[in-house]
Amino acid sequence: MRIIGGNRRGLKLAEVGEGDAAAHLRPTSDRVREAIFNLLINAHGNPVTGARVLDLFAGTGALGLEALSRGALQATFVDDGAKALALIRANIARMRAEGETRVIRQDARRLGPNAGAGYGLVFLDPPYGKGLGEAALAAVLAGGWLSPGAMVVWEEGAAPAVPEGFSVTDQRKYGDTVVTLLEATA
């Protein structure tokens, strides 16, 4: 796994490793990540440059770090798994992005109120097929985590049911991954 574009292109990220089935880590492949960023930058007005990014179910942090490499100003990573948090911190250190990042150990479905500015770009990559994405989106809406018109990039195994407060702007299938782009309307 590596950063595929921007000013840190080619940076090798920490290996996920094997032997920890309980961690449920399923990193976004380089191919799908590249497709997501091409879609965002070329077809959706580039919501990446200058963005505050919220990476939910962050896993390795690759999506948020890719956004930083491509011009995002700040990224906040949310995960509650010990292995994921260790990988996120290792990848932040490899990228030397400590000053542009924040790591929150929290279940993304229970974020509570946001004390700071809203986020304009959200990556949502929950374990597939468990309804966790819907619950996380409800939490970010209720907690005031989103800027008006925020873009959400949701990876799931099938097309998700779009929660109230969001509209679909695009949807693409890449192998066994369905990427749905949502805009916050609430």
What is the tens place of the pLDDT at every residue in 134-145? 999 999 999 999
Segment 57-73 mean pLDDT: 96
> Quick check: 28 pLDDT over 90?
no
CA–CA distance, 97 with 75 (Å, rounded to integer): 9
d(CA 183, CA 69): 23
With cut-offs at 50, 70 and 90, classify the pLDDT of residue 43: confident
List, for residues 73-122, the tens digit of each pLDDT value.
999 999 999 999 999 999 999 999 999 999 999 999 999 999 899 999 99
What residues does each domain of the chain span? Answer: 48-184
Would you call 140 helix, strand, or coil by DSSP?
helix
- Whole-model pTM above 0.85? yes
Confidence of residue 29 (pLDDT cuts 50, 70, 90): confident
Average pLDDT of the segment spanning 18-22: 46
pLDDT value of position 125:
93
Residue 26 — very low, low, confident or very high, per pLDDT cuts 50/70/90?
A: low
Label residue 149 exposed, middle or buried (CB < 10 Å: 0-12, 13-18, 19+): exposed
Res. 20 pLDDT band, cuts 50 70 90:
very low
- Give the architecture-level CATH label for domain 48-184: 3-Layer(aba) Sandwich (3.40)
Query: Residue 17's pLDDT is what?
Result: 62
For residue 130, the 8-state DSSP code is S
pLDDT: is 33 or 76 the higher one?
A: 76
**Given a cut of 70, is residue 62 above it in pLDDT?**
yes
Query: Nearest Cα to 40, choosing from 182, 185, 184?
Result: 182
The torsion angles phi and psi of 38, rounded to 5 degrees, stand at -60, -40
Q: Considering only CA atoms, which of 71, 95, 69 is closest in space to residue 12?
A: 95
